[in-house]
Structure 1
Amino acid sequence: MSHTQVIGVHLALIEEGRVLLGQRAGTGFADGQWHAPAGHLEADESVLRGMAREAEEELGITIREEDLELVHVLHDLDADDGTGRLQLFFTARAYGGRITNREPGKCARLDWWPLDRLPHPTVGYAAQAFARIAEGRQVSVFRRSG
């Protein structure tokens, strides 16, 4: 039996102990919850290119691939559809431009939150990843309850 993994890329933009999160809206996934700017890879796209593309599409900022640093890998065991997901969390050493909400149809608003006091509700696996990032842990596994 083969196993499929979907790869997600997430921007863990942390400045002065606060992380940038967006409140999801109108997507059908976790609407109303807070989440990191994120997306999935496109065909033949590297994880670095995908993260840089998502940052530009969602936030209007440019990040050079060499300025991205992998800070956490979360293996999301999705009980809902049986598809495993590797969620990669990157931080940016530098970026250009001004952060703006470029997808208001998918993101109600952007805000900075203390890394140790995330808003409620935050998407479960993202909350776990940020807790592990704060602890300095590089890898975790998330199992959905139910």
Structure 2
Amino acid sequence: MSERLAVIDVHLLLVRGDEVLLSKRRGSYGDGMWHLPAGKLEAGESVVAAAVREADEEVGVRIAEADLRLVHVVHARGAGVEPRLGLFFEARRWAGEPVNREPDKCYEVAWFRRDRLPDNVIPYALAGVRGYLDGTTSGVFGW
């Protein structure tokens, strides 16, 4: 068996006007810090299908695959953290109102102006958000 090179994560930038939805992590890495709705790619799943699944699981919104746009990619690593390839998808249309569907993993969800994000956003996610806001397609973090 070969060693895995990176975990593949999908991140959702749910955009409403000039706001983006963030979730406050509970219990695991980054407890009390803000993050985008996100999750790991599962075996046999496309990255777009993973983004649609995570949107429903974490914040209860239904997104059509055609309404997702890949806006940034981050190749990240950190001390003691397995390297990751983060795919950041923008959605401007969805069905349902975002709610916290994982209270065991998340304290709350909230909308923030894109130009006034909280200070305590998980750095890996923030790298993707900044890349999206800057209009760059990719970047590295922690290398």
Q: TM-score, normalised by structure 1?
A: 0.90
Provide Cα deviations, 1:80-126, integer angstroms capped at 9, x if missing partner: 24x32100100114211121111111110111111122112110011
Shift of 1:2: 5.4
Q: Say whether 1:96 aligns with 2:95.
A: yes
Percentage of identical aligned residues = 45
SS of the residue 2:70 aligns to: strand
User: CA shift at 1:131, angstroms?
Assistant: 1.4
Instruction: Say whether the 8 Å CA contact 1:13–1:92 is kept in structure 2.
Output: yes
Aligned counterpart, 1:132: 131
Structure 1 residue runs of 5 or longer lacking an equivalent are none
- Per-residue Cα deviation, 1:1-59 (whole angstroms, up to 9, x for no partner): 85511100000112221110011012x21110000000001111110010000000011
Q: Secondary structure at the match of 2:53?
A: helix
List alignment gaps of at least 5 residues for structure 2: none
Seen in structure 2, the aligned counterparts of structure 1 residues 106 and 2 have a Cα distance that, compared at 3 Å, is: closer
RMSD value, Cα: 1.6
CA distance in 2, matches of 1:16, 1:62: 18
Contact 1:116 1:134 (C-alpha < 8 Å) held by counterparts: no
Does residue 60 (structure 1) correspond to residue 64 (structure 2)? The answer is no
Q: Distance in 1 between matches of 2:116 and 2:142?
A: 22
Q: Write the letter of the residue equivalent to 2:13.
A: A
Comparing 38-47 and 89-98, the one that deviates more: 89-98
- Structure 2 equivalent of residue 71 of structure 1: 71
Equivalent pairs, count:
142
Q: Which residue of 2 aligns with 1:39?
A: 39
Paired AA for residue 99 in structure 1: P
1:77 CA displacement? 2.3
TM-score (normalizing by structure 2)? 0.92
Letter in 1 for 2:7: V
